[in-house]
Chains A and B, each alone.
Chain A
Amino acid sequence: MAASSQQISRSPGDSPWQVFLHSLIHMPWTWRIMLGYLAVMLFLPTAAMLTKASGIGLAEFWRIATSPIALSTYDVTFTTSLIAALIDGVFGVLVAWVLVRYDFPLKRFIDASIDLPFALPTAVAGLTLATVYSENGWIGSLFAPFGIKIAFTRLGVGIAMMFISLPFVVRTVQPVLMQMERETEEAAWSLGASALETFWRVLLPPLFPAILTGVALGFSRAVGEYGSTVIVSSNTPFKDLIAPILIFQRLEQYDYAGATVIGMVLLILSLLMLLVINFIQAWGKRYD
């Protein structure tokens, strides 16, 4: 269909502008729907934010972006997300490994349940995590005697981030693990490698790009997360206030410039993460 617009004969002297106009007029209707929808739903809102940001002025932008409260929310958001994603990285690989390599009762149920964080609305996740991990909740009460508070602290935010990022690691590692041939492992075994050596030297290297991709995907999801974290956090500035919630608070105070600047920082970070993820995936293809 895209080709049909090029087949219509054109006089050779057409300027590029005319060619562009011509292809625009003769665009197939699927393209019109796609581009029209993208324009209204995605490009317009993005453009509105970019113009708002560019209207702020570089000095003012920098001042807001590096204000103490903003810096503290980056610290809470990025460090907690990173730690949560790394813990998910370790346990996600373990879960994927167990699901691919071993047989045990309820395995299919457990496999299906990994997608729960995708399917469960984040507000529900936040609500139940806040209850379960509170001082008298089922899990929180186990830690309370040791003076460890989980809900309404940074720890709780981290747990919520682990909850929502877990499927990203498991679902990126699982298919790679399934495709891996067991012969290489068996060769390592029969050549006398220990279990640990086999894991580090034979299994991990080809899995590594998938693990990194999963952790990066989980990290970027955790950074942007709002629904579960806003409920499980006490939202105290300089303690467990995360950047998405700061945006929300700025908007509530009608501080559009403040909200836009923090929003831009998050947006730039997500775009950077997309680049990083694409790069990791391209790098991982060297094993194919």
Chain B
Amino acid sequence: MTNSVIDASLPPSGPIPQPGDARTKSWVPAVLIGVAILFLGFVLYIPAINVFYQAFHKGIGPFLKNLKEPNFLHAIQMTLALAAIAVPLNTIFGLATAWALARKRFRGRTLLLSIIDLPFAISPVVAGLMIVLLYGRNGWFGGWLQAHNINIVFAFPAMLLATIFVSMPFVAREVIPVLEEEGLDQEEAAYTLGANPWQTFWRVTVPNIRWGLLYGILLTNARAMGEFGAVSVVSGNIAGKTQSLPLYVEEAYKGYETEAAYSAAVLLALLAVVTLVVKEVLEQRTGGYRKKVH
């Protein structure tokens, strides 16, 4: 066969025809992409852009002015304090849980895993209600707490408990699959070479699970700083006292202080943007570690 014959049998140049090309008109993808982006625009992007527009459309001045507002500053401190305590505690719990449950098979394991996921299924308001019913005036511990003059509900401790409740499962959820994938070989090797469990944990396990762990901590932090429903129920929402940043947003808005509301909202939106960027980076690090539902 000569080249000319082959050449004649092929189209001169251009893409190889895909099956169905004759029937899929080229406008179909364009229309589908357009509709998808339009939908996302209405539901996600325009609202997201609006946060930054409202906060900064009169320049950075109003934002800086609000930054000097004592209640606003107190709300920021409150949110940072909640995250500073809730995130480490939930991380320790998540690591212990992952360590206890990953790579082990026993009866009731699936049930235990579902129980750990339960805080995601329970409405935040119901979570808050549970805490009120436990520590509130008429709750189980109410009498005892009152007798000892300890305030939990409508004070920081209950806000912390609510924050912990709603952000509890993230670390365990992210670390368990990573631990399962790693297997036991490296840790067994470390033991054989004479490492004690603590050394093995810090030098072998933690480096292996670090990206999954960071991912879990990141999500825990985002939820802890952003939680509204559960914290709102237990806090009493006293400005300058028991008000976290999300609660400040709502109260400022309801009090027609839209500017103040957006100054606080833009900080939380920045937190969300940072979370998403770090999340992308971590997903790349873990090599096609696929996006999951939380």
A residues adjacent to B (C-beta < 8 A): 1-2, 28-31, 33-34, 37-38, 41-42, 44-46, 48-49, 51-52, 91, 94-95, 97-98, 101-102, 104, 110-132, 137-139, 159, 162-163, 166-168, 171-172, 174-175, 186, 189-190, 194-195, 198, 214, 217, 220, 223-227, 230-231, 244-245, 247-248, 251, 256, 259-260, 263, 266-267, 270-271, 273-274, 278
CB distance A163 to B44 under 8 Å?
A: yes
Inter-chain residue pair count (beta carbon < 8 A): 272
B residues adjacent to A (C-beta < 8 A): 19-20, 23-24, 28-29, 32-33, 35-37, 39-40, 42-48, 50-51, 54, 89, 92-93, 96-97, 99-101, 104, 106, 114-116, 118-119, 121-127, 129-134, 136, 138-140, 161, 164-165, 168, 219, 222, 225-229, 232-233, 245-247, 249-250, 253, 258, 261-262, 265, 268-269, 271-273, 275-277, 279-280, 290-294
CB distance B129 to A34 under 8 Å?
A: no
CB-CB < 8 A to A171: which residues of B? 291-293
Q: Give me 10 other A-B pairs in contact (C-beta within 8 A), A121-B271, A124-B249, A226-B229 excluded.
A: A30-B100, A52-B133, A97-B32, A110-B37, A118-B222, A122-B226, A163-B43, A224-B125, A227-B250, A273-B121
CB distance B125 to A247 under 8 Å?
A: yes
CB distance B126 to A224 under 8 Å?
A: yes
For B47, B48, B106, B277, the residue with the greatest tally of chain A CB atoms inside 10 Å of its CB is: B47
CB distance B100 to A34 under 8 Å?
A: yes
Complex alpha-carbon distance, A220 and B36, angstroms: 24
CB distance B97 to A34 under 8 Å?
A: yes
* Nearest-CB residue, chain A, relative to B136: A256
For B40, B48, B126, the residue with the greatest tally of chain A CB atoms inside 10 Å of its CB is: B126
| B contacts with A: majority SS | helix
CB distance A38 to B116 under 8 Å?
A: yes
CB distance A247 to B129 under 8 Å?
A: yes
Q: Which of B32, B97, B127, B228 contacts A227 (CB 8 A)?
A: B228
Distance in Å: Cβ of B162 to nearest Cβ of chain A: 9
Complex alpha-carbon distance, A45 and B230, angstroms: 13
CB distance A37 to B93 under 8 Å?
A: yes
* Nearest-CB residue, chain B, relative to A190: B19
Distance in Å: Cβ of B82 to nearest Cβ of chain A: 12
CB distance A31 to B50 under 8 Å?
A: no
| Sample (21) of A-B pairs whose CB atoms are under 8 Å apart | A28-B100, A33-B96, A49-B129, A94-B32, A110-B37, A115-B276, A116-B44, A116-B272, A119-B222, A121-B271, A124-B268, A127-B262, A138-B50, A139-B42, A214-B293, A251-B129, A256-B136, A260-B129, A263-B125, A267-B126, A274-B114
CB-CB < 8 A to A110: which residues of B? 37, 40
CB-CB < 8 A to A49: which residues of B? 126, 129-130, 133
Distance in Å: Cβ of B80 to nearest Cβ of chain A: 14
CB distance A1 to B114 under 8 Å?
A: no
Distance in Å: Cβ of A91 to nearest Cβ of chain B: 5
* Nearest-CB residue, chain A, relative to B22: A189
With A217-B293, A263-B126 known to touch, is A121 a contact of B250 (CB < 8 Å)?
A: no
Distance in Å: Cβ of B210 to nearest Cβ of chain A: 19
